[in-house]
Structure 1
Amino acid sequence: MLQNIRVVLVNTSHPGNIGGAARAMKNMGLSRLVLVDPLTFPHHEADARASGANDVLAGAKVVATLEEALVGCTLVVGTSARDRRIPWPLLDPRECGAKVIEQAGEGAEIALVFGREHSGLTNEELQRCHYHVHIPSNPEFSSLNLGAAVQVLAYEVRMAWLALQGQPTKQAKVEVASARSAELATMDEMERFYGHLEQALVDIGFLDPDKPKHLMSRLRRLYGRSEVNRSEISILRGILTETQKAARGEVHKRKDQ
């Protein structure tokens, strides 16, 4: 599916930006790069900025015109940083990612088109696109580096792809749920902790056993929703023990003192 998506850079003036775009693509699982009449390519600065995505650069297709770059595409999305006089279907980056993956999943060939560093795409070039996408950056400093713009759209494409594949968009925890549950303190361990906590609070004068009010109920609710594990219970019990010793005047100097 991601193989159906090509990133098209039009008339890029700085080879380093081509490398930056290649790196952004590879980060997000995209590999098809098409360069329309680049000023300088190949170039060592492109290789340096690619930083490991040299395979994307090596596979880049260089063409003379945008028409050549778009051959076979049934969905073309052009990036636009400015308002245009001619109304055109407009997407934000998230909508763009969803639209691209929706159609790529149906076998369509997709092009994400990025313009020149200083002037973007011309009106004529934008009219060759089915949709325009605008990255809502800070209006007081709205200009994005070409590689950064590619990164934003490639990220949204990947997020939409992960969602469609049913894959997690957050880093999975190392432990599985069953293992984690096994680490949680058992009810009997929690009861011993509550007993220890109550006695320690009495020892330091924080809890009046004749007028307990609802203190222990509130503390039970607090710890109950914290999913305390066995290691944490041991730490808490150790703190309570040392607190009781201090209350009895059994204060010991720390070993490092």
Structure 2
Amino acid sequence: MLDNVRVVLVNTSHPGNIGGAARAMKNMGLTRLVLVDPQRFPDPNAAARGAGADDVLEGALIVPTLEEAIADCVLVMGTSARDRRIPWPVVDPREAAEKVLDQIAELPGAQVALVFGREDSGLTSEELQRCQFHVHIPSNPDFSSLNLAAAVQVLAYELRMLVLKRQDQPTHMQKIETTATQNEIPTTAEEMEQYFGHLQQVLVEIGFLDPQKPRQLMPRLRRLYGRIRINRMEMNILRGILTETQKAIGVKATGERRR
């Protein structure tokens, strides 16, 4: 689906920005880059800023005009941070992603362009008039101009998130530990009782619990632990802390203080 989307950079002045945009694209699964009359490209700075997006840069198509870059596209969206004299349909990046994917779903094989302008002045009014929609990134109004690569990243991110959602794929990764299956097994009632016995013993040994005047400490701790679901790894950590505490105060496993 994202193969139908091209990123078009118009008259980019610094090759590092081209590299940064290529990296942003590859991060989000976009591969088609079109450069309209770039001032310096190819250039080592582009590769350096690309940081591994060499395939995107090497596959970049260089054309002399925006008209040629978008000639076969059925949907063209141009980014703009400035108000224009002529009212034009304006969408935010999330709405833009919806329209892009809706168009591709409606017409498989349809080509779509996301057009980004010059670093210092963006797209001209004439260039924006070649776009069906203008995309406005709702940034800080006191400092609204984004770096070119950052703007590409925002739109590419919204596209990827929507693609994952429509394909019912997860949008976040769950951290998996080496022994995750074993670690996630909840502790049994017997294991909890063994822990409470160990905990009470250590609290007495460090002087925090007076067995003659317990003052409901252990029932309150039981209630505290009862509010959470402790798994086996967590129990091993808790028991380990108690054991190391006993070592630190010089108590043997039998509960006798070392002389």
- Cα deviation, residue 103, structure 1: 2.6
- Asked if the contact 2:183–2:232 (Cα under 8 Å) also holds between the matched residues in 1, the reply is no
- Cα deviation, residue 101, structure 1: 2.6
Q: Distance in 1 between matches of 2:168 and 2:212?
A: 54
- In the alignment, structure 2 segments of 5+ residues that lack a partner are none
Q: Distance in 2 between matches of 1:207 and 1:122?
A: 79
Query: % of aligned pairs identical?
Result: 64
Partner SS, residue 187 of structure 2: coil
Q: CA RMSD in A?
A: 2.8
Is 2:135 the partner of 1:133? Answer: yes
- In the alignment, structure 1 segments of 5+ residues that lack a partner are 253-257
Is 2:237 the partner of 1:235? Answer: yes
Partner SS, residue 184 of structure 2: helix
Aligned equivalent of 1:181: 184
Q: For the structure 1 residues 159 and 190, does the alpha-carbon distance in structure 2 shift closer, same or farther, using more than 3 Å as the test? A: same
Q: For the structure 1 residues 216 and 117, does the alpha-carbon distance in structure 2 shift closer, same or farther, using more than 3 Å as the test? A: same
Task: Choose 144-153 or 86-95, whichever is displaced more.
Answer: 86-95
Partner SS, residue 78 of structure 1: strand
- Cα deviation, residue 150, structure 1: 0.9
- Asked if the contact 1:97–1:159 (Cα under 8 Å) also holds between the matched residues in 2, the reply is no
Q: Distance in 2 between matches of 1:123 and 1:251?
A: 85
Aligned equivalent of 1:250: 257
Aligned equivalent of 2:163: 161
Task: Choose 30-39 or 81-90, whichever is displaced more.
Answer: 81-90
Alignment TM-score, normalising by the size of structure 2: 0.82
Write the mapping of 1:1-257 to structure 2, written as runs, cut at 5 A: 1-106=1-106, 107=108, 108-175=110-177, 178-182=181-185, 184-201=186-203, 204-206=207-209, 212-213=215-216, 215-240=217-242, 246=249, 250=257
Q: Distance in 2 between matches of 1:242 and 1:56?
A: 54
Q: For the structure 1 residues 209 and 102, does the alpha-carbon distance in structure 2 shift closer, same or farther, using more than 3 Å as the test? A: farther
- Asked if the contact 1:89–1:132 (Cα under 8 Å) also holds between the matched residues in 2, the reply is yes
